[in-house]
Every structure is written in structure tokens, then in C-alpha cells.
């Protein structure tokens, strides 16, 4: 059974996040940006990818799970038919850990509850000049019995890893074990 506040389930198999949780960080910034190209890493059921496509973005949605991409496609197709929103999403079956990121292409890169710290350098180079990185993930917790901390950010770890970007928003919520970041690549002169 899902835990509260976006915590991992007791069996540690999947995060307790679903459509009812929404995508508040992506929603907060997407309307302030001009439409462009977006990359949604570890897209899962495609909630963020759909949000972006609904607002006119050309989205590449990457996930390692064929089953999750199939669900995301079905969910998107059902929604597009009923809402009349065709959207522009390319569903890409790939492992983020070995994905070949193109350089300077994406106006927005979103990562939600996926540990991409080993690929963060490549992710940042995929940002177009002035492009935004929107990252939400789990924060380490000292709570007794909490397992899986090796996949969670330590306090300020994400902030330090993005020091070469212009950080516009950064928040750590220890009570919910969450960290959120919005940062921008430099614009070309």
C-alpha cells in the first residue's frame, strides 16, 4: 500500500506517486516558458510528458520499461481522443543510464523521482542555451526503517551538482523527504 507524502511503499518496489499527486513543479514553470523541445526522463506513465504536450511542446519521453511506455501511450491516446489534444510525444524505449543525449537541443528537461546523478553532466549538456532543468527527487531521510537511501540525494547534493546552472528555485522538504530544483543553462551571447 502506498505510503504518505510521496514516500516509497513498504515493500520498496514503487514510489507512491500517481495521477492524483500531479506535477506541481513542472506545472508551475511550463506556462512561463515559450513552447519548444522537451525531454522527460524516466517518464513512467507520461504525466509530465502529457502536461508538456498539452501546452504545445514537442516532447521526447524516455523510459526503460516497455510496459510503462505502453501504459503512457494508451493513457495519452485515450486522453487525446476525448480532449481533442493530439500532443506531440515521441515515446522512446531506452535506459537513461546509457542513453546518448544530443547536445544543446532541449528547452526543458524534466526528471521526476529518478536518480540521474551519474548522468547529470550529459543531461545538462542536452539543455539548449537558456533551457530549464526541472528535477524532483527523494531526499535522504534519517527516519528509522527507511531503506534505499543510496538512491536519494543528500542535503544540498543536487544544488551543488547544478552549480554551473542558474538555479532559480531550490527547496528541500525533510518532512516529506523531497528535493526540488529549477535551474537554467546560460544563454549564448
Query: Residue 128 in 3-state DSSP?
Result: strand
Query: Residue 119 in 3-state DSSP?
Result: helix
pLDDT over 90, % of the chain? 54
Half-sphere CA count of 131, side-chain side, radius 13 A:
20
* 71-92 pLDDT tens trace: 999 988 876 554 555 558 999 9
pTM listed for this prediction: 0.81
Of 152, 116, 139, the C-alpha closest to 42 is: 116
The reported pLDDT for the residue numbered 118 is 93
Q: Which residues of 70-101 are buried (b: 16+ CB within 10 A; e: fewer)?
A: eebeeebeebbeeeeeebbbebeeeebeebeb
Q: Taking 50 as the threshold, does the pLDDT of residue 22 lie above it? A: yes
The string of DSSP codes covering 138-161 is EB----TT---GGGSBPTTHHHHH
> In terms of pLDDT, which residue wins out, 119 or 31?
119
Q: Taking 90 as the threshold, does the pLDDT of residue 103 lie above it? A: yes
Q: Where are the domains of the chain?
A: 35-184
CA 26 – CA 172 distance, rounded (Å): 16
* 30-63 pLDDT tens trace: 777 878 999 999 999 999 999 899 888 999 999 9
Q: What is the CATH number of domain 35-184?
A: 3.40.50.150
Rg (CA), the chain: 16
Per-residue confidence band for 183, with pLDDT thresholds at 50, 70 and 90: very high
Residues present in the chain in total: 189
Amino acid at each position: 500500500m502506498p505510503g504518505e507524502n510521496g514516500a516509497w511503499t513498504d515493500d520498496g518496489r514503487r514510489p507512491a506517486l500517481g495521477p492524483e499527486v500531479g506535477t506541481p513543479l513542472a506545472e508551475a514553470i511550463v506556462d512561463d516558458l515559450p513552447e519548444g523541445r522537451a525531454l522527460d526522463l524516466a517518464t513512467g506513465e507520461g504525466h509530465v510528458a502529457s502536461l508538456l504536450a498539452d501546452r504545445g511542446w514537442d516532447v521526447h519521453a524516455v523510459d526503460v520499461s516497455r510496459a510503462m511506455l505502453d501504459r503512457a501511450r494508451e493513457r495519452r491516446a485515450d486522453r487525446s481522443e476525448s480532449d481533442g489534444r493530439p500532443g506531440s510525444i515521441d515515446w522512446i524505449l531506452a535506459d537513461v543510464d546509457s542513453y546518448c543525449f544530443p547536445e544543446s537541443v532541449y528547452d526543458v528537461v524534466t526528471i521526476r523521482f529518478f536518480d540521474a546523478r551519474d548522468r547529470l553532466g550529459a543531461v545538462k549538456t542536452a539543455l539548449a542555451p537558456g533551457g530549464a532543468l526541472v528535477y524532483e527527487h527523494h531526499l535522504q531521510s534519517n527516519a528509522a526503517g527507511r531503506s534505499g537511501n543510496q538512491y536519494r540525494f543528500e542535503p544540498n547534493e543536487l544544488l551543488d551538482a547544478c552549480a554551473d546552472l542558474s538555479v532559480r528555485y531550490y527547496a528541500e522538504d525533510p518532512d516529506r523527504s523531497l528535493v526540488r530544483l529549477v535551474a537554467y543553462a546560460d544563454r549564448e551571447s
